Each structure stands twice: as structure tokens, then as C-alpha cells.
Amino acid sequence: MKGMLSGITILELGQVIAGTYGGMILADLGAEVIKIEPHWGDAARNPKITPVRGESAVHLQLNRGKRSMVIDLKCEAGREIFYGLVAESDVVIDNFRPGVMARLKIDHESLLRHNPRIITVSVTGFGDGGPAGNQPAFDLVVQALSGLLDLTGPADGPPARVGIPLADISGGIFACMAVLGALVGRELHGEGRHADISMLDSLVSMLSYDALHHLNTGVLNRRQGTEHAHIVPWQAFETKDGYMVVAARGEKFWQNLCDAIDRPDLKDDPRTRDNGARLEHREYVVTILAEAFARRTRNEWMDLASKHDLPVAPVNDLVDVFRYPQVRAREMVRRYRHPTVGDVSYLPSPFKLTDWELPGLPAPMLGEHTVEVLRNRLAYSDETIGRLVDSGVVGTGQDRNGAS
């Protein structure tokens, strides 16, 4: 069985999350992703960040299925090796600050001289250009600037960060999409392209219909906790043993909910008979439902959901998530064997492809594949490789006191 991208080679200069998440997906699709690292390794390798038996969870998750090669790109000899790899590769992904690739002489225009079909993708906080282009960008900063923090959290409380690094992850996802689009475009039109991906652009684009509504009406949505600006009921309620959410979009589900709480009168009550009325009388509706949800446990509510076709769900913590039968049935937890950590449980990409089993390969040790790539891809002799290692142009992860 071959992956959709078998035969595609990607050189990844990415660090931590934004520059590596897209490569992780592309590796799952069958691409060969060669991670080019400095002697000290990707910052994601820092074992003090989400430690797992001496390694970092960020590295173990986001760099799985890739190969690691250490090259000093600041020296001419290192760049010559990189140019040789570019000549027979398809894509280069980076998440350096704007201008760094040009200073290293490995920007898109420079690489075209070595491969006119090369595709390059740069993921940055704010994109190449604009007044914020060179400002430092971390996930929290981008979430704040995008408006996401202002829309997240309780109505009467402070703004809240989305619980995952969504700015970083969205940058990686859109980088992956850019690669896939550019690969198709190259086959159609014969040209490599450069994609400029901004984490801020990515999150702003995800504001979606709420942004369109604001831009065309002037209405300013504010944070409402789990409530919805336009649908009632659509929020979390406390039960006897935790929280549940209900998302009764459409009158069918509202009427089912009325039956489940033994309040068929609410189907015809002028304050609750349709969504417009419920929006106008939100407090009245929420009070009734809060009392109803508080009378039962989460399991009792799930039994009612099965009986009445209710769009309700428990608010799962991570223990609950990985016990949830649907997550288990969809094989959203898999394992690979790491040379130092041992068995690692990880999350695969969510797609299921006909006749393709996700690779399930471990995250590489630093420089694990340097010699192999030089020998097999570029036909370097062992003597030449030895000189390159001794001079520090390349590394194997064992020749310096870098991360491992």
C-alpha cells in the first residue's frame, strides 16, 4: 500500500508547533519528511516541555514519522548540502522570522536556481510584510490579536485562552493545505510556488461567519461562555456529577428536549415555541433547563439522549475522551516504539484513507538520518561524510553536546 504522497520529499526547517504540525500531517499521508535541524536540535526537543520519560511530548507527537538530519546552514558547505537536497525534493517548509531565509540564501528565489519546481512554505506569526511583520509571535499573542480571546470565556469574566495552541496549529494546518494545493498546481501548470502563511491570518480567517456578520452589520459579538449569540439553548449546564452541553439547533431538537424534561407545554408557550422567542426570553429558558439538568446525572442524560434523539454530550476531560467508545472505535490513539522512551501512545491524523495504513513511525533522534541521507541521496562517500562531521558542517546527534 502506498500513501497519497508517496514519492514526495519535503525538507522541513520548522520548529516547535507552527513549523512542524503541517509536516506531521504530510508524513501521515506518505510523504518523506526530512527534518533539517541545527546541532542543538528543534526547540521542541527540550525535555522540560511536557516531559515524557526524558523526551518532550511536543517532539514525540509533532515530529513522528519524520527523519532527522543535522546541517549547519550558516556555513557555505552546509548550504551546498542543502542545495543538493533541494534539487531532488519537492517542498521546503520553514517558520523562521521574515528575512531569515533570505539571509541564509535559502529563500524561494535562491532555491529556484537549484530546482525550478520547488515549492516553499513559510509560516510566521504575522506574515511577510505589514507593520507587525517582525514582531515576536507566540500563540497567546496571536490569539489575543485575532479577537479569539475576546470571544472566549464567561460573559462576566476575563478573556480566556483556547485550551490548545490553536494559532500555532492553525498555521500548521494551513501550511499543509498550501503544500497540497501547490503540488496539484505544479502538476497542472508546471511551476513551483511560494506560500506565505500567517498565524494571525489563519485565526482571523477562522472567525468565519461571525466576522462577516460584524463587518456587514456593525454588531459586535462578545464572549458568552458556552452560550450562542443566535441559538437558545446552546450551552453547558451542570448536572449532579459534572457538566453537559445541549445544542438544540432547530425546532425538532427543542421539542425533543421538551419531551425529555416532561415539559411539553414549552412547545407552544409563546416565550419558548421558536428560537426567536427563546432568544428574547433567554433567561427564562436557561433557568428552566438549569433546574432540569441539575436533577439528573450525566449518564442519565445520555440515556435520555438515546431515547429522545437529543443533541447533548458530557463535557469530557482527557480521561473521558480516551475512554469514549467512538474515539476508541475510530482508532484515534495509536502506538509507536521509540528507541529511548519505549512505547509511545500518540494521536494520528484524523483521516481514514482507502488502502493506506498510517505509518506509525517514531519521532527521530537528533541527526539519526544524517549519514543515511548523505550516503543514499547525495552519494557522499564515508570519507567525505566523516570530514563533514568532524568539521561541524553536519551532525549525527552523537558528535556534539546538543539535544537528543
Active site residues: 168
Give yes or no for a contact between 173 and 183, defined as CB atoms under 8 angstroms apart: no
Q: What does the alpha-carbon distance between residue 329 and residue 371 come to, in Å, rounded to a whole number?
A: 40
Q: Is the peptide bond before 364 cis (omega within 30 degrees of 0)?
A: no
The sign of the torsion formed by the CA atoms of 277, 279, 282, 288 equals positive
| List of residues 6+ apart from 329 with CB closer than 8 A | none
Residues in a beta bridge with 317: none
The count of residues in the chain is 404
From edge to edge, which strands make up the β-sheet containing 234-239?
A: 234-239, 242-247, 312-314
**DSSP states along 315-332:** ---HHHHTT-HHHHHTT-
CA distances to 93, 137, 194 from 178, in Å: 10, 21, 9
User: Cell 517558520, residue?
Assistant: 95
Give yes or no for a contact between 141 and 199, defined as CB atoms under 8 angstroms apart: no
Residues in a beta bridge with 68: 35
CA distances to 88, 112, 174 from 187, in Å: 16, 17, 20
Q: What does the alpha-carbon distance between residue 61 and residue 49 come to, in Å, rounded to a whole number?
A: 12
Provide the terminal-to-terminal Cα distance of the chain, rounded to the nearest Å.
32
Closest by CA to 66, choosing from 378, 331, 368, 324, is 368
Residues in a beta bridge with 33: 10
Using CB atoms within 10 A of its CB, is residue 231 exposed (0-12), middle (13-18) or buried (19+)?
middle
Residues in a beta bridge with 71: 394
Residues in a beta bridge with 344: 336
Give yes or no for a contact between 403 and 41, defined as CB atoms under 8 angstroms apart: yes
| List of residues 6+ apart from 299 with CB closer than 8 A | none
Closest by CA to 366, choosing from 390, 340, 346, is 340
